[in-house]
Amino acid sequence: MLFAVLIACKNPETKQLSTDKAEKALTQENPKSVPTDTIIIKGMRYQPDKLTVHKGDKVIWINKDVVVHDVTDVEDESQTSGNIEIGGRYELTVNEDLNYFCSIHPTMKASIIVKND
């Protein structure tokens, strides 16, 4: 981000997207595609920590924290994102309820509830 700011300062013609607009562009999909929900990882928390989605929705986790995190299934740890680097993201199409945590920081816990309609 600092690099982009420095470039913008050198070239007054350069336009930057605001953080909100950049996030929206990052997570927006074709309107006819699968719905997308976003979870932000920040302050050693998943935000929101409880999310309700429809079966088949895509969920995207974006790491805006200052350390690496992951998304790991609480049940048996069979589902894991691997490391989500700072500024990185992880996508998952959700078909069933998911209770998850960060295996790097086990106090971080959250859940996704799937509505079957």
Using the structure block, give the residue that is written with the tokens 């992880």: 90
The pLDDT tens digits for 52-80 are 999 999 999 999 999 999 999 999 888 89
Per-residue pLDDT of the chain (117 residues; tens, 9 = 90+): 333 333 333 333 323 333 344 444 444 444 445 568 999 999 999 999 999 999 999 999 999 999 999 999 999 888 899 999 999 999 999 999 999 999 999 999 999 999 987
pTM: 0.71
53 exposure class (CB count in 10 Å sphere: 0-12, 13-18, 19+)? buried
CATH class of 34-115: mainly beta
- Ranges of each domain in the chain: 34-115
d(CA 108, CA 41): 10
CA atoms within 13 Å, Cβ hemisphere of 60:
17
Q: What is the pLDDT of residue 90?
A: 98
